Amino acid sequence: MSDAILSLRGLRKSFGPTEIIRGVDLDILHGERHAVIGPNGAGKSTLFHLISGQLKPSAGRITFDGQPIAGRSPQAINHLGLARSFQITNIFPKLTVHENLRLAVMRPRGLQYTFWRFIDRDAETRRQTERLLELVRLQRRASTLAGEMSYSEQRSLEIAMTLACDPKLILLDEPMAGMNNEETAYTAGLIREVTKGRALLIVEHDMEVVFSLSDRVTVLVYGQPIATGSPDEIRNNAAVKEAYLGEEVAA
């Protein structure tokens, strides 16, 4: 079996005449936390859209858990165990935290089942929902309307919903965006905890978070990876320093 849960080979994406992803080869290993960083407009979000199925590649291969997934639907890819968190938009603000999580737990099981199975699964759904509430420390907020919680609490709920399908790989796109220092530290700790034993691919602008959370970091510049390595290797990489003009990575 390959060490990689996700492999990208010769991945390309053009919008009209403009090539945004220009030949990406990348392996995300089983259980590793891997960050993608790069200047604004480097193509990080586009890369995520390609992996999660929102966009179809112009060329190249994407292999997830041994299966080719390039061009498959987001639902089909999700079903294979790849979960992507989409900011707050996944949350139903007028439902409670518990109801939101319960829906997320039920979704991958499907809603059509017989009465007898319903009884069994209902107990299992309850167990799973409680477990996730505990994992993201939201038990005391269980009956609060999701839309009434703070931004970082909503992110915690969102992360719990991402975990509901027991994914092998989680994609997080700028999870700390809009957070203050305290919320960022809290959410980084939470992400570290809940991704134990799973692979994580994260795009994040906060370099402190990136370097403390990641096993490896890939730097994307103009749609191509210019370096992949440990946080120390990336910090000391000359090409990376040049791409960032010595500013952000030194932070």
Ligand X SMILES: Nc1ncnc2c1ncn2[C@@H]1O[C@H](COP(=O)(O)OP(=O)(O)OP(=O)(O)O)[C@@H](O)[C@H]1O
The answer to whether 84 contacts ligand X (rule: CB under 6 A) is: no
Torsions phi, psi for 36 (to 5 deg): -110, 120
Among 8, 20, 28, 132, which residue interacts with ligand X (rule: CB under 6 A)? 20
Inter-residue contact 42 to 13 (CB < 8 Å): no
The answer to whether 98 contacts ligand X (rule: CB under 6 A) is: no
Cα–Cα distance measured from residue 75 to residue 44, given in angstroms and rounded to the nearest whole number: 21
From 22-30, 40-48, 94-102, 164-172, span contacting ligand X (CB under 6 A): 40-48
Among 38, 53, 81, 167, which residue interacts with ligand X (rule: CB under 6 A)? 38
Here's the x/- map for ligand X, 43-72, by CB under 6 A: it reads as xxxx--------------------------
Nearest to 15 by CA among 64, 39, 50: 50
CB of 203 to ligand X, least distance (A): 7
Sheet with 169-173, edge to edge strand ranges: 82-85, 169-173, 199-203, 33-37, 216-221, 224-229
Q: Whose Cβ is closer to ligand X: residue 49's or residue 102's?
A: 49
Q: Whose Cβ is closer to ligand X: residue 46's or residue 184's?
A: 46
Inter-residue contact 20 to 42 (CB < 8 Å): no
Judged by CB under 6 A, the chain residues 168 through 187 that form the site for ligand X are none
Size of the site for ligand X (CB under 6 A): 10
Q: Whose Cβ is closer to ligand X: residue 42's or residue 149's?
A: 42
Among 8, 42, 133, 171, which residue interacts with ligand X (rule: CB under 6 A)? 42
Q: Whose Cβ is closer to ligand X: residue 9's or residue 205's?
A: 205
Q: Whose Cβ is closer to ligand X: residue 46's or residue 129's?
A: 46
DSSP SS3 for 131:
helix
Strand 199-203 vs strand 4-15: parallel, antiparallel, or unpaired?
unpaired
Inter-residue contact 69 to 168 (CB < 8 Å): no
Q: Whose Cβ is closer to ligand X: residue 97's or residue 201's?
A: 201
CB of 149 to ligand X, least distance (A): 25
CB of 225 to ligand X, least distance (A): 12
Which helix (H) or strand (E) segment holds residue 65: the answer is none
Q: Whose Cβ is closer to ligand X: residue 21's or residue 69's?
A: 21
Exposure string for 93-104, b = 16+ CB within 10 A, e = fewer: eeebbbbbbbbb
The answer to whether 247 contacts ligand X (rule: CB under 6 A) is: no
Q: How many C-beta atoms surround the C-beta of residue 113 within 10 A?
A: 13
Question: Can you give the binding site for ligand X, defined by CB under 6 A?
Answer: 15, 20, 38, 40-46
